């Protein structure tokens, strides 16, 4: 018997949040912990095709790629705040869900396979210090459940920001 995806997702997300906490607790240090989190998200959720963390640069002007996992490296390792979907989310502090990247003029193309994207800012107090960026190979891959879950993950990631 099959279950609707909408009913399965919250339970999967709840489990994953506990695993994220465990990975962070067990990792050797903040950088290793952040790497383990992106790998866990990628492995647990088939629609999370490419998962990366960008951290805001020390001068506050750019997003700098930190840990990531996925089929290919991105050429966008440094993105000015305000540029692309990533830069928009960092500038506004709002989660961005883009159901069709080809229909969004802000989109900075990374992978031919990407059809949709979600970007969730990471906060320290009320300041954006980074973000999780996830690309999906299906149109409309991400919904409000992903957003809520990833917003909880970002709270766990904030203490892992590299100190420069």
What size, in residues, is the chain? Answer: 164
**Dihedral sign from CA coordinates of 136, 64, 77, 73:** negative
Tokens for 109, please give them. Answer: 């193309």
Residue 153 to residue 156: CA distance in whole angstroms: 5
Pattern 63-82, binding to ligand SME, x per CB under 6 A? -----------x-x--x---
- Stretch touching ligand SME by CB under 6 A, among 10-18, 35-43, 103-111, 152-160: 103-111
CB-closest chain residue to ligand SME: 84
Out of 49, 52, 81, 131, the only residue in the binding site for ligand SME (CB under 6 A) is 52
Cβ contact 134:126 at 8 Å: no
Out of 117, 141, 149, 160, the only residue in the binding site for ligand SME (CB under 6 A) is 117
Asked if 138 interacts with ligand SME (CB under 6 A), we say no
Within 10 angstroms of residue 5's Cβ, the number of other Cβ atoms is 11
Asked if 84 interacts with ligand SME (CB under 6 A), we say yes
Asked if 131 interacts with ligand SME (CB under 6 A), we say no
Closer of 15 and 75 to ligand SME (Cβ): 75
Q: Comparing C-alpha atoms, which of 85, 81, 83, 96 is closest to residue 129?
A: 81
CA distances from 123 to 30, 118, 131 (A): 16, 16, 8
> Which parts of this chain interact with ligand SME (CB under 6 A)?
52, 74, 76, 79, 84-86, 107-108, 110, 117, 133, 135
């Amino acid at each position: 018997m099959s279950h609707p995806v909408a009913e399965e997702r919250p339970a999967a997300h709840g489990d994953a949040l506990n695993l994220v906490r465990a990975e962070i607790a067990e990792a050797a240090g903040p950088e290793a912990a952040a790497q383990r989190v992106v790998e866990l998200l990628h492995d647990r959720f088939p629609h999370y095709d490419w998962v990366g963390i960008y951290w805001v640069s020390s001068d506050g002007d750019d997003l700098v790629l930190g840990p990531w996992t996925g089929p290919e490296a991105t050429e966008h390792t440094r993105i000015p705040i305000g540029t692309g979907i990533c830069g928009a989310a960092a500038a506004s502090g709002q989660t961005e869900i883009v159901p069709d990247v080809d229909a969004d003029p802000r989109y900075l193309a990374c992978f031919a396979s990407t059809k949709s994207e979600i970007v969730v800012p990471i906060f320290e107090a009320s300041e954006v210090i980074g973000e999780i960026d996830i690309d999906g190979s299906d149109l409309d891959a991400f919904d409000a459940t992903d957003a809520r879950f990833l917003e909880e993950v970002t709270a766990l990631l904030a203490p892992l920001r590299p100190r420069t």
